[in-house]
Amino acid sequence: MTAQIIDGKAFALGLRARVGELAAAFRGSAGRPAGLAVVLVGDDPASNVYVRSKGKATIAANMESFEHRLPAETSQDDLLALVERLNADDRVDGILVQLPLPAHIDAQTIITRISPDKDVDGFHPVNAGRLMTGLPGFVPCTPLGCLMLLEDQLGDLSGLDAVVIGRSNIVGKPMAALLTAKSATVTIAHSRTRDLSSVVRRADIIVAAVGRADFVKGEWIKPGATVIDVGINRTDEGLVGDVDFDGAASVAGAITPVPGGVGPMTIACLLRNTLVAAHRNAG
Ligand code: GUN
C-alpha cells in the first residue's frame, strides 16, 4: 500500500470540538442554546442509527436536540404540519428531516416547506440555487465535509482535474458545484457515462458517491490521485465503500477509509451548519 490514509474521524473530532466551544459561547451570549430538530418517519434501522448519533453529537456540542420520531404511516399533511411548527419555533435553529422517507411521502414537497434559513441540510431549492450562484447559504453536509478533507490534504484545488461519480442532489451535484467554485476542472460521471475507467483515469481528485460496493477499481486510478469514498455499503464482509480500497490504496496518493473517512465529517458539518444558523437567526 502506498496511499496515505485520510483520517476523517480525527478531522471530524477536531471540528466538533471547535464547534462545541463556539456553541458554548453562543449559549452564553444569546441566553439560549443553538437548537437542532431531527425528524425521523418510520423505523429504517440505518436511519435510526444516524438519527441517534446526530442527537448525541448535538448535545455533546453544547446544543439542544429536538428529536421527533413519527410512525411510518404518518401522512404527508401531518409531516408538513410538524415542519411548519418547527419553522415557527424560535428554539429551533436547524431542521433536518431524515431521508429516505416512506414511499407515500414526497421528499421534495417536505424539503421545500422547510424554511431555507433553518435548512441545515442545504437541500432546499433556495440553498441549492445559492450554492450554484456563489451566494451564502447552507451547503449539504457530506460534500462540505469532503471539500474540507480535500483542502486539508491538497491545499489549493485550482486547476486540478476532479471526477465526481454520482449525480444526486445530496452529494454529487453540490460536490461538483463546490469543486467548481474552488476552480477545479470538474466532470460529473454517472450510470450512463461511457468508458468510466478512462474518465476516472485522468482525475487528480476522485469523489465516489454511487452507492455500490467496491465499484471503483484500483486500475482506474491515476497514480498519486486523491480518492474520497462517500459510499457506505452493508455487505457480508461488513461496511465497505464505493471504492475497492485495497486496489485503490496501492496506487492513490491518499484515500479515505470506510468507515472513518467521510461519514464522521457529515455529522460534524451538520453541527457547524446548525451553529451558523443559530447566529444568523439570533442576529
Ligand atoms: N440520509 C442520508 N444522508 C442524509 C443527510 O445528509 N440528510 C438527511 N436529511 N437525510 C440523509
Over residues 152-176, mean pLDDT: 98
Strand partners, 149: none
State whether residue 70 is helix, strand or coil: strand
Task: Report which ligand 1 atom has the smallest distance to the Cα of 99.
Answer: 10
Residues 6+ apart with CB under 8 A from 10: none
Over residues 182-198, mean pLDDT: 97
Give the pLDDT confidence score for residue 233 in this predicted structure.
Answer: 96
Give the pLDDT confidence score for residue 33 in this predicted structure.
Answer: 98
Give the pLDDT confidence score for residue 97 in this predicted structure.
Answer: 98
CB 240 within 8 A of CB 208: no
Give the pLDDT confidence score for residue 98 in this predicted structure.
Answer: 98
Q: Report how far residue 151's alpha carbon sits from residue 6's, in angstroms, rounded to the nearest whole number.
A: 12
Q: What percent of the chain has pLDDT over 90?
A: 98
pLDDT single digits (tens) 62-108: 999 999 999 999 999 999 999 999 999 999 999 999 999 999 999 99
Give the pLDDT confidence score for residue 105 in this predicted structure.
Answer: 98
Mean pLDDT (the chain) is: 97
Give the pLDDT confidence score for residue 9 in this predicted structure.
Answer: 98
- Ligand 1, from 98, 108, 113, 141: best to mutate by most atoms within 8 Å of Cβ? 98
CA angle 140, 235, 105 (to 5 degrees): 45
Residues in contact with ligand 1 (CB, 6 Å cut-off)? 96-99, 121, 141-142, 170, 266
Task: Report which ligand 1 atom has the smallest distance to the Cα of 96.
Answer: 9
**ipTM score:** 0.96
- Judged against a pLDDT cut of 90, whether residue 177 lies above it is answered with yes
Among 110, 208, 197, 135, which Cα is nearest to 165's? Answer: 208
Residue whose Cα lies nearest atom 1 of ligand 1: it is 99
Q: Report how far residue 280's alpha carbon sits from residue 138's, in angstroms, rounded to the nearest whole number.
A: 11
Over residues 175-194, mean pLDDT: 97
CB 118 within 8 A of CB 94: yes
Give the pLDDT confidence score for residue 115 in this predicted structure.
Answer: 98
- Ligand 1, from 41, 97, 170, 175: best to mutate by most atoms within 8 Å of Cβ? 170
Which class would CATH give 141-263? Answer: alpha beta
Q: Where in the chain is the domain with CATH 3.40.50.720?
A: 141-263
Q: Where in the chain is the domain with CATH 3.40.50.10860?
A: 30-115
Give the pLDDT confidence score for residue 283 in this predicted structure.
Answer: 73
- Residue numbering of the annotated binding site for NADP(+): 166-168, 232
Over residues 117-129, mean pLDDT: 98
CATH topology of domain 30-115: Rossmann fold (3.40.50)
- Judged against a pLDDT cut of 70, whether residue 1 lies above it is answered with no
